[in-house]
């Protein structure tokens, strides 16, 4: 029986582990994929206090080393459901087992949003990618397409422009929505072309990826771009279906909770990008993790 089970090993989850452990609670972190969450895919983090610049992977490693040294247990498994038996008694069910605990902190983050067009699944991992950090280097000196218009897309454009001979950045509207400093940096790259006002309609190719077909936003004009690969950065969606019987979600699938990260289920807390919030940044994820952990510890202590 673990005091607190934390679902997700991103910045929110690992901060929750840190504060839970320092509050004297035993902790098990359950992570479905890899340590660090989205931040591990960021080539450079420059907006986190204490570091003028650090790679997301290095930051994630430092976070995990800290909680591991304090005694956090880690299980690589996918959570499929959470059952509440009574106050301070939950069962967290996974694909390969089940874990008992007194409180649960959900910090599962979000998933990449898909284009949902013909050909996207066919070339997934073979020309269609969602992580420029992971796969951009494979296209050194090649031409690529990037779909997106906010901070993630702008960061991808900067990264890809370091590898690729040309980056065609296609946006749905006639403007960019990211930070001004990122917009200026992207516009200054000579090998980045911004094409505004088009949405992807299909991914082309028979045996191999060839390019993407687009259609004018709200119109009928068509455009075809040939390239070696497509990178998609159009936002994220929460992965909270496993918790729907237990906690309340908003219409977009994010977990509803109070300012102290309490959900509709007593003893269950939510932290980070998976919950309803107006700002989703590394610093806000870390803040959530601290708040959720202290609230969970107080719950277990009967406060």
Q: What are phi and psi of 196, to 5 degrees?
A: -100, 150
Residue range 94-123: average pLDDT?
95
Bridge-based pairing state of the strands 27-31 and 2-7: parallel
Categorize the per-residue pLDDT at 108 as very low, low, confident or very high, splitting at 50, 70 and 90.
very high
Q: Are 244 and 231 in contact (CB under 8 A)?
A: no
User: With 0-12 CB in 10 A as exposed, 13-18 as middle and 19+ as buried, what is 220?
Assistant: exposed
The count of other CB atoms within 10 Å of the CB of residue 19 is 23
pLDDT per residue as tens digits for the range 173-228:
999 998 999 999 999 999 999 999 999 999 999 999 999 999 999 999 999 999 99
> Would the CATH topology of 2-111+236-300 be identical to that of 128-232?
yes
What distance in Å separates the CA atoms of residue 127 and residue 122, rounded to the nearest whole number?
9
Residue 111 has pLDDT above 90, yes or no: no
Question: Tokens in use for 131?
Answer: 């992580």
Weakest mean pLDDT among 28-42, 61-75, 166-180, 246-260: 28-42
User: With 0-12 CB in 10 A as exposed, 13-18 as middle and 19+ as buried, what is 154?
Assistant: buried
Residue 42 has pLDDT above 80, yes or no: no
Q: Domain locations in the chain?
A: 2-111+236-300, 128-232
DSSP string, 29-84: EEESS-TBGGGGG-S-B-SSTT-SSB-HHHHHHHHHHHHHHTT-EEEE--EEEEEE
Q: Per CATH, which fold does 128-232 belong to? A: FAD/NAD(P)-binding domain (3.50.50)
Categorize the per-residue pLDDT at 102 as very low, low, confident or very high, splitting at 50, 70 and 90.
very high
Q: Are 62 and 46 in contact (CB under 8 A)?
A: no
How many residues are there in the chain? 303
pLDDT of residue 232: 96
Q: Per CATH, which fold does 2-111+236-300 belong to? A: FAD/NAD(P)-binding domain (3.50.50)
């Amino acid at each position: 029986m673990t005091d607190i089970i934390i679902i997700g090993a991103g910045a929110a989850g690992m901060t929750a582990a840190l504060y839970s452990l320092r509050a004297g609670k035993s902790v098990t972190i359950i992570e479905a994929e890899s340590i660090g969450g989205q931040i591990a895919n960021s080539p450079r983090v420059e907006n986190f206090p204490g570091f003028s610049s650090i790679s997301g992977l290095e930051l994630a490693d430092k976070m995990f080393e800290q909680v591991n040294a304090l005694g956090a247990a880690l299980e690589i498994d996918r959570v499929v459901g959470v059952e509440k038996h009574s106050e301070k008694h939950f069962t967290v069910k996974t694909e390969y087992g089940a874990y008992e605990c007194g409180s649960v902190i959900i910090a599962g983050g979000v998933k990449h949003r898909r284009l949902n067009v013909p050909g996207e699944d066919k070339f997934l991992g073979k020309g269609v990618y969602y992580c420029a950090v992971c796969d951009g280097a494979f296209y050194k000196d090649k031409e690529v397409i990037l779909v997106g218009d906010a901070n993630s897309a702008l960061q991808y454009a900067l990264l890809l422009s370091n590898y690729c001979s040309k980056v065609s950045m296609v946006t749905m509207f006639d403007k960019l929505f990211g930070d001004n400093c990122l917009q200026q940096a992207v516009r200054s790259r000579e090998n980045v072309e911004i094409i505004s006002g088009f949405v992807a309609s299909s991914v082309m190719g028979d045996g191999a990826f060839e390019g993407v077909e687009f259609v004018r936003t709200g119109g009928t004009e068509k455009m075809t771009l040939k390239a070696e690969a497509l990178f998609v950065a159009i936002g994220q969606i929460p992965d909270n279906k496993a918790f729907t019987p237990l906690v309340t979600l908003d219409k977009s699938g994010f977990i509803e909770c109070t300012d102290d990260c309490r959900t509709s289920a007593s003893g269950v807390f939510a932290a980070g990008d998976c919950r309803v919030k107006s700002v989703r940044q590394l610093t806000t994820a870390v803040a959530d993790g601290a708040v959720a952990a202290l609230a969970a510890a107080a719950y277990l202590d009967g406060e």
